Structure 1
Amino acid sequence: MGYGQNKQNQERQELSLLELNNRVKGAVLNAFPETCWVRAEMSDVRTNAASGHCYLEFIEKNAITGQLVAKARGSIWAKTFRMLKPYFEMETGQMFASGLKVLVKVSIEFHELYGYSLTVLDIDPAYTLGDMIRKRMEIIRQLQEEGVFTLNKELPFPTLSKRIAVITSPTAAGYEDFLNQLANNKAGYPFYTKLFPALMQGERTEESVIAALDRVYRYADHFDVVVIIRGGGATSDLNSFDSYLLAANCAQFPLPIITGIGHERDDTILDMVAHTRMKTPTAVAEFLIGQMDKAAGEVEELQQDVSRLATDILSMQKNLLQLLGSRLPV
């Protein structure tokens, strides 16, 4: 080993990993204020059942390509999470879950052992609401530009809508209410229902309802209308019914679709593209009974018209016969 290399080894600074991480920690503390507000998407949100702490990842994607461009570990300590989660869900109507874009107040930390992370101290629900509204408007605009937004509404509604394909969860209380309302209609109209089971809450709702629609489509000639109902459940679960794929499938379905997914707030996109939107499963049943009442009323009016016309014809013929009879020689 030469003199030059010995001198180089003496001059270079060597740090242990702990010393390096401590310097990084100090640099982070000096570079940032105690807290700052950060825009990001939540991912891998999970809660520790024992401690009550929430652990998640914050990510950012390229707006055009969708590729991941940034990621950071995050945590919300139990004391904060107990207040923050219900507040956020009440204000937004959405579950505190992966996939939502949020604006959070965080402290930036670098731990010698665990590395870089963000600790959440507060959240602004208005930012998430704004992003949800923007997404809804984008989906509505896309459906309109594709020319499918009003297709289902333009279908003629059958005069006698008594053969009904029902898409819902077989265990939903709303399903039983719907069946009971139809079965106990005062006029005794016969309704024939066929259940096509689907999940009506949770992350798989979209694909489950679309799969049920595909099954109905194979037997479309056997039905007059399709009913999509959901009894009760959390308002946050309605996010699944703001799906582009589900709305596009319903908008282009060859049978009229009636929705009754049990909520009072603004229509979901599914409601917007459906032929008819009712608030609850019971209201859907009442609507179908009302359509039968309307058809029965029209039949009754036709019967009365025929009766009046027949009476008029008989009266005219009677008068004619009397006139002819008066002209005959006695």
Structure 2
Amino acid sequence: MSTKQIFPLSKLTLAIENVINTHCSKMVWVKAEIVKLNHYPHTGHCYPDLVEKSNGKIVAELRGNIWKSNFDKINEKFRSVLNEDLRDDMTVVVQATVTFHSVYGLALNILDIDPEFTLGELAKQRAEAIKKLNDEGIFEANKDTLLPKLPKTLAIISVESSKGYQDFLNVIDSNPWGYQFHYKLFPAVLQGERAVSTINAQLKKIKKYKKIFDAVAIIRGGGGEIGLSCYDNYNLAKEIAIFPLPVLTGIGHSTNETVSELVSYKSFITPTKIAEFLLQEFHNFSQPLEESAHKIKSGAMLLFERQHTQLSQASSSFGFLAGRTLDREKNILSFYQQMLFSASKALLKQESSELKNIAISVEHLSPANILKRGFSITRKEGKVITNASLLAEGDLVETEFLSGKASAEIKNINDK
């Protein structure tokens, strides 16, 4: 019986390493998708996870190595061509050699990456997103939403520390006309791949309170044009296109508009321009009112002056007695004038008081206050039940109290 020949693992891996490094050392160009970049800032090295997909399934997978010196040069090229860094979820063409290490295994040693190919892929994705939105008939949907004459209440998707957001607030809050705006910040990541999911999540949250807000502003500034490809993402653009409120975008760049900007109600180069647009909307509403008020005041003054002149002329014509009569009539006219102003002021005050009383009554009748007084609200399939005849035995109902809800099944009905 022959003796088994046993090799140490290191000897086997060394043999594999010799074969691969001898016969596979030629540089090749390889197309792959970077699933995860795995960049380590403390060393500067990168270990990207590379895959090839077919019909959404991974058909090939290999680890890559990009040493710091190469990574810095590659990243600089990407910034100059794509206006963004090398990142996760990019399809790339890499120049590499195949290497094998006894401990770390098989890998692609990446020497260079062609940013022009990735630029073409991003342009292709952008074109596909625009075509898909047009084919679905929703490309212009957000432009058809209604922006109120006075867009006062805004939902803002941004980051509190963003320079663009601070610039926007400075223009809005310090406007010299004293226009008052109400706004709420919904924080989100504003660039890179995570921007799509976080902005979409905040849009869905705002949609629940769409009756409160007049419009949504997506504000990004101070970051230059790095990381803007996320705004060409179909899923983000679709969420903006079908959003029930007007979406105003100010993401701070000067190149071609992204798909998200194209489908929005209105896009602006900077967040400051959004603020100026909103102030202009107030101007468009207030100026005609001011002009009308001025015309009414001027017309009234002119009418009184004309009547005064006519009375003075008549007084001179009819002599002293007639003058006294006319003076009396002027006094009466002046009295009625004062009465008219006083009555108008009192009427406005009365109407204002009645409106406040109505507001208080409405507040007292709100569901929350009704629940506070010990009442409850019963619903069937989301509809409020006000009459027992609307129920049948076996129906499932939900009863809302001031604190909490309870579900029950109808066992007996007495509709008297």
Partner amino acid for 1:131? Answer: E
State the alpha-carbon separation in 1 of the partners of residues 244 and 35 from structure 2.
38
Residue 138 of structure 2 corresponds to 148
Residue 253 of structure 2 corresponds to 263
State the alpha-carbon separation in 2 of the partners of residues 99 and 110 from structure 1.
25
TM-score, normalization by structure 2: 0.65
State the alpha-carbon separation in 2 of the partners of residues 106 and 118 from structure 1.
6
Match among 53, 58, 61 for residue 61 of structure 1: 53
Residue 117 of structure 2 corresponds to 127
Further displaced range: 192-201 or 125-134: 192-201
Residue 92 of structure 2 corresponds to 102
Partner amino acid for 1:188? Answer: G
CA RMSD in angstroms comes to 3.3
| Cα displacement (A) at 1:233 | 2.0
* Greater C-alpha radius of gyration: 2
C-alpha distance after superposition, 1:22-67 (max 9, x if no partner): 55445545654621111111133223444322212221111x2x11
Secondary structure at the aligned position of 2:143 is classed as coil
Match among 29, 37, 44 for residue 37 of structure 1: 29
C-alpha distance after superposition, 1:252-279 (max 9, x if no partner): 1111111111112221221111000001
Residue 327 of structure 1 corresponds to none
Q: 1:49 to 1:178 in 2, by over 3 A?
A: closer
Residue 201 of structure 2 corresponds to 211
State the alpha-carbon separation in 1 of the partners of residues 173 and 11 from structure 2.
77
Does structure 1 residue 159 correspond to structure 2 residue 139? no
Match among 78, 91, 115 for residue 105 of structure 2: 115
TM-score, normalization by structure 1: 0.81
Residue 326 of structure 1 corresponds to none
State the alpha-carbon separation in 1 of the partners of residues 8 and 91 from structure 2.
39
State the alpha-carbon separation in 2 of the partners of residues 67 and 218 from structure 1.
35
| Cα displacement (A) at 1:251 | 0.9
Secondary structure at the aligned position of 2:43 is classed as coil
Match among 221, 228, 233 for residue 218 of structure 2: 228
Secondary structure at the aligned position of 1:54 is classed as coil
| Cα displacement (A) at 1:304 | 7.6
| Cα displacement (A) at 1:102 | 0.8
State the alpha-carbon separation in 1 of the partners of residues 176 and 125 from structure 2.
44
Q: How does 1:19-98 map to 2 (within 5 A)?
A: 20-21=12-13, 24-25=16-17, 27-28=19-20, 31-32=23-24, 34-62=26-54, 64=55, 66-98=56-88
Structure 2 unaligned spans of 5+:
308-416
State the alpha-carbon separation in 2 of the partners of residues 113 and 261 from structure 1.
46
State the alpha-carbon separation in 2 of the partners of residues 248 and 305 from structure 1.
48
State the alpha-carbon separation in 2 of the partners of residues 107 and 183 from structure 1.
58
Partner amino acid for 1:143? Answer: L
State the alpha-carbon separation in 1 of the partners of residues 40 and 167 from structure 2.
38
Indicate the percent of aligned positions where both proteins have the same amino acid.
Answer: 36
State the alpha-carbon separation in 2 of the partners of residues 184 and 145 from structure 1.
44
Partner amino acid for 1:194? Answer: K
Further displaced range: 182-191 or 136-145: 182-191
State the alpha-carbon separation in 2 of the partners of residues 211 and 72 from structure 1.
33
State the alpha-carbon separation in 1 of the partners of residues 233 and 137 from structure 2.
17
Residue 249 of structure 1 corresponds to 239
Contact between 2:39 and 2:47, CA under 8 Å: does it hold in 1? Answer: yes
